[in-house]
Amino acid sequence: MMSIPRRSLLRYLLAATATATLARPALARLLKPSTTPSRGAFPLDRFRIWLADYPALQSVEGSVKIPIPDTSGGVIRRIIVTRTGPEEFAAVDDVCTHAGCLVDPYRKSLGGLPCPCHGALFRPTGEVIRGPAVRPLPQFATFYTPGSDFLEVEIPGYSSVPAAAFSCTLTPNPATDWFELRMSTPTAGVARFRIINADGRRIVEWQQYLPADQPVCIRYPLTGFPAGVYWLSVEWGSMQPLIKGFTVLR
């Protein structure tokens, strides 16, 4: 069984979506194939997770909750991913089947995924350990190649996002007072930026002209942002948005 205190688990979850850069396009630091990395679109229904972004998942019995974004930056659902063995992962929906409360990631002291509302407890694979819930949590198939840094989770109805035509890195991640974007595009144009919280609510939006083949640095202040997980959506030209998760720590 894993040993991750609740406070540490929260910090892991916050850091999980924030340590990556956008040098790999279109969710690529969050979402990557579990086989050979590809710069093109990934298969429909496959949500690809870059394991380095989730410190808890580096060890057996590590467990995190991951919001699943759509191409506009909204959150379509949340899943709990737990490393159940050196080469095995389990992924389940986080909505309790008893009364619809949100189930927490795995907790060693309880031996399962607890529901904070009425005390139901589930295995990482979704089976009920303790009521009042009687139905298991919906489980999602996982795909992992031994030795890979990537995990795929099959989410029915999830749409893949094609690769982006420009590069972007976001640092520091996690952030406190500000984050910095370093970007370059093959052609000039106006990019639209949106910051969205983990509930899918747009916090701020702005536009900025990007010159062709020239590095651009944008430093954005995070004053007033509560601690939590956020998504940065970048729209450029006719491409679908790049979506990048990052974390604010307080």
Reported confidence tier of residue 157, pLDDT bands at 50, 70, 90: low
Residues 35 and 144 in one domain: yes
Stretch 150-167: mean pLDDT:
65
DSSP 103-164: PPPPBTTTTBEE-TTT--EE-TTS-EEESS--SPPPEE-EE--TT-SEEEEE-TTPPP-PPP
DSSP annotation of 55: G
Which pLDDT does position 111 carry in this prediction? Answer: 94
- Which residues, listed in sequence order, are joined to residue 142 by a DSSP beta bridge? 153
Domain residues for the domain of 232 are 167-248
Residues 75 and 185 in one domain: no
Residues 150 and 173 in one domain: no
Stretch 225-239: mean pLDDT:
81
Stretch 58-78: mean pLDDT:
77
Reported confidence tier of residue 164, pLDDT bands at 50, 70, 90: very low
Residues 131 and 185 in one domain: no
Per the listing, tokens 């050979």 go with 36
The CATH number of whichever domain residue 217 belongs to comes to: 2.60.40.2550
Q: Select from 130, 154, 178 the last residue of a domain.
A: 154
State yes or no: pLDDT of 20 exceeds 50: no
State yes or no: pLDDT of 28 exceeds 60: no
Residues 55 and 140 in one domain: yes
Q: pTM of the full predicted structure?
A: 0.51
Residues 146 and 223 in one domain: no
Residues 23 and 93 in one domain: yes
State yes or no: pLDDT of 139 exceeds 60: yes
Q: Select from 154, 182, 209 the last residue of a domain.
A: 154
The token pair at 216 is 């651009």
Stretch 51-72: mean pLDDT:
83
In a domain, 195, yes or no: yes
The token pair at 118 is 């009425």
In a domain, 160, yes or no: no
Stretch 26-45: mean pLDDT:
38
Residue 64 has φ and ψ, to the nearest 5°, of: -140, 160
What is the distance between the alpha carbons of residues 12 and 59, in angstroms, rounded to a whole number?
12
In a domain, 161, yes or no: no
Residue 10 has φ and ψ, to the nearest 5°, of: -60, -45
Q: Select from 132, 154, 176 the last residue of a domain.
A: 154
In a domain, 200, yes or no: yes
The CATH number of whichever domain residue 82 belongs to comes to: 2.102.10.10
How many domains, in total, are found in the chain?
2
State yes or no: pLDDT of 188 exceeds 90: no
State yes or no: pLDDT of 134 exceeds 60: yes
In a domain, 18, yes or no: yes
Residues 106 and 24 in one domain: yes
Residues 35 and 149 in one domain: yes
Residues 105 and 69 in one domain: yes
Structure confidence by residue, pLDDT tens digits, 101-131: 999 999 999 999 999 999 999 999 999 999 9
Which pLDDT does position 177 carry in this prediction? Answer: 92
Stretch 210-215: mean pLDDT:
80
Residues 149 and 177 in one domain: no
Reported confidence tier of residue 244, pLDDT bands at 50, 70, 90: confident
Residues 178 and 145 in one domain: no
